[in-house]
Amino acid sequence: MSDIAAAAHRAAPAADGTLVAQPVDDTGHSPAPAPEPAVRLESATLAFGDRILWRELNLSVERGEFIAVLGPNGSGKTSLLRVLLGQLALSSGTARIAGAPPRAGHPDIGYIPQQRTIDAGVQLRGTDLVGLGVDGHRWGLGLRGRAERRRKVAAAIADVGAERFAKAPLESMSGGEQQRLRVAQALIGDPAVLLCDEPLLSLDLASQQLVSGLIDARRHRHGTSVLFVTHEINPILPLVDRVLYLVGGKFRIGTPDEVMTSEVLSELYQTEVDVLRVRGRLVVVGTGDTMDALGTAGAHCHGEPGTPHAGDPSAELTQRSGRANE
Ligand SMILES: Nc1ncnc2c1ncn2[C@@H]1O[C@H](COP(=O)(O)OP(=O)(O)OP(=O)(O)O)[C@@H](O)[C@H]1O
Ligand SMILES: [Mg+2]
């Protein structure tokens, strides 16, 4: 090490007790440690009995990063979110949210669950649904607390442009209207991490754009990290930083260009898969999963019918993905 380099380091104890060189700044102080990633999975494996959903998953999600989570039905996308929500324990490996183990009710996490239809007869208004996302302890139950809660709910509803219908019963709303309110509910707690489970399901193109635009605006304005589970990558393709693609116990992580290729998807699905790029959209043909059944002639469409989507990588890409997350 040169004198200059030596001057910029000092000995510090490592975890095993040995001394290692640690960088210092001009004033002789060590710079603050790099912030923990919003989400970190290390060698994470999830299995139910003999069935391994994913094995040795390494993923580090940075502040404001937008990750699309793709994969056929049953590949473990929802289960991944449930691990991060503290609802499911990993079989091995570690999961961290901002450096701490996941736990139920974590205030840093906003969650849009996989859509369920609202049961007829449930007399819940849109404002009630959004209010469920408020942490009750934060404002207390006094008059001031109630006023603050009301203000917060009104602001969250305004943010998603739902003022016009928010006071109506949920069961009377369209799927797109309900979904806007679910987004408001997930964002009201000012989350650092937003977990979205197929939030575009059954929405028309305009509503898809609206909902994904709201989420994108949130991460740009507040640095919220987004894990976005979807079968339809095209509506969010311009927003996606990286793709996590889960198939049959294997996975690939990388940019859409790295993962959504014929080579990578063929390797993941262990069958010949073609990824076509048509007018800036992705069409995946030959995965044999549900999307094939829904699309035309085996086309795996992400976006409107007849449009394309993103895929996954080969063995070589697994290596690259691992490094990308270090
Ligand atoms: N608690 C559990 N015990 C046993 N098996 C489970 C449990 N939770 C999920 N599974 C199984 O794990 C698999 C993955 O489920 P998961 O809901 O994560 O899939 P998914 O990728 O979200 O699928 P989809 O696209 O259909 O929503 C499924 O076969 C499911 O039945
Ligand atoms: Mg699911």
pLDDT at 24 over 80: no
With beta carbons less than 8 A apart as the criterion, state whether 156 and 133 touch: yes
CA of 39 relative to ligand 2 center, distance in Å: 19
Backbone angles phi, psi at 318, to 5 degrees: -55, -45
pLDDT at 321 over 50: no
Return the pLDDT at 138: 55
| Segments in the chain forming alpha helices (H) | 3-7, 77-84, 126-131, 136-139, 143-159, 175-187, 205-222, 256-259, 262-269, 290-294, 315-324
- In the structure encoding, which two tokens stand for residue 66, read together? 């937008």
**pTM of this prediction?**
0.79
Return the pLDDT at 225: 97
Task: Please indicate whether residue 75, judged by its CB atom, sits closer than 6 Å to ligand 1.
Answer: yes
CA of 116 relative to ligand 1 center, distance in Å: 16
With beta carbons less than 8 A apart as the criterion, state whether 32 and 16 touch: no
DSSP 123: -
* Residue range 287-294: mean pLDDT, rounded: 54
Q: What percent of the chain has pLDDT over 90?
A: 51
**Model confidence band, residue 313 (pLDDT cutoffs 50, 70, 90):** very low
Domains of the chain: 34-108+193-321 (3.40.50.300), 113-190 (no CATH)
**Model confidence band, residue 243 (pLDDT cutoffs 50, 70, 90):** very high
Return the pLDDT at 128: 86
**Model confidence band, residue 307 (pLDDT cutoffs 50, 70, 90):** very low
Task: Please indicate whether residue 100, judged by its CB atom, sits closer than 6 Å to ligand 1.
Answer: no
DSSP string, 75-88: SSHHHHHHHHTTSS
Q: Angle at which helices 175-187 and 143-159 pack, to 10 degrees?
A: 130
- In the chain, what are the helix, strand and coil shares in percent, each to the nearest 5? 35, 25, 40
Tell me which of 168 and 304 has the higher pLDDT: 168
pLDDT at 299 over 60: no
Mean pLDDT, rounded, of the chain: 80
**Model confidence band, residue 289 (pLDDT cutoffs 50, 70, 90):** low
**Which is nearest to 306 in space by CA: 245, 238, 230, 232?**
232
Tell me which of 177 and 228 has the higher pLDDT: 228
Based on its alpha-carbon atoms, the radius of gyration of the chain, rounded to whole angstroms, reads 22
- In the structure encoding, which two tokens stand for residue 126, read together? 């849109």
* Residue range 235-257: mean pLDDT, rounded: 95
d(CA 158, CA 129): 14
CA of 209 relative to ligand 1 center, distance in Å: 28
**Model confidence band, residue 141 (pLDDT cutoffs 50, 70, 90):** low
CA of 313 relative to ligand 2 center, distance in Å: 21
* Residue that is written with structure tokens 């509503």 in the block: 207
- In the structure encoding, which two tokens stand for residue 19, read together? 């001394």
**How would you classify the pairing of strands 250-254 and 9-13?**
unpaired
**Model confidence band, residue 175 (pLDDT cutoffs 50, 70, 90):** confident
Q: What percent of the chain has pLDDT over 70?
A: 75
d(CA 310, CA 243): 8
DSSP string, 142-177: SHHHHHHHHHHHHHHHHHTT-TTTTTSBGGGS-HHH
* Residue range 258-287: mean pLDDT, rounded: 92
* Residue range 68-95: mean pLDDT, rounded: 96
Task: Please indicate whether residue 131, judged by its CB atom, sits closer than 6 Å to ligand 1.
Answer: no
Indicate which atom in ligand 1 lies nearest the CA of residue 114.
Answer: 27
Tell me which of 230 and 31 has the higher pLDDT: 230
Task: Please indicate whether residue 295, judged by its CB atom, sits closer than 6 Å to ligand 1.
Answer: no
324 burial (CB, 10 Å; 0-12 / 13-18 / 19+) is middle
Indicate which atom in ligand 1 lies nearest the CA of residue 88.
Answer: 1
With beta carbons less than 8 A apart as the criterion, state whether 218 and 209 touch: no
Return the pLDDT at 93: 98
Convert 3-41 to b/e letters by CB count within 10 Å (16 or more is b): eeeeebeeeeeeeeeeeeeeeeeeeeeeeeeeeebbbbb
d(CA 301, CA 65): 24
| Ligand located closest to 247 CA | 1
**Model confidence band, residue 118 (pLDDT cutoffs 50, 70, 90):** low
* Residue range 275-293: mean pLDDT, rounded: 77
Return the pLDDT at 302: 44
d(CA 234, CA 301): 8
Task: Please indicate whether residue 115, judged by its CB atom, sits closer than 6 Å to ligand 1.
Answer: no
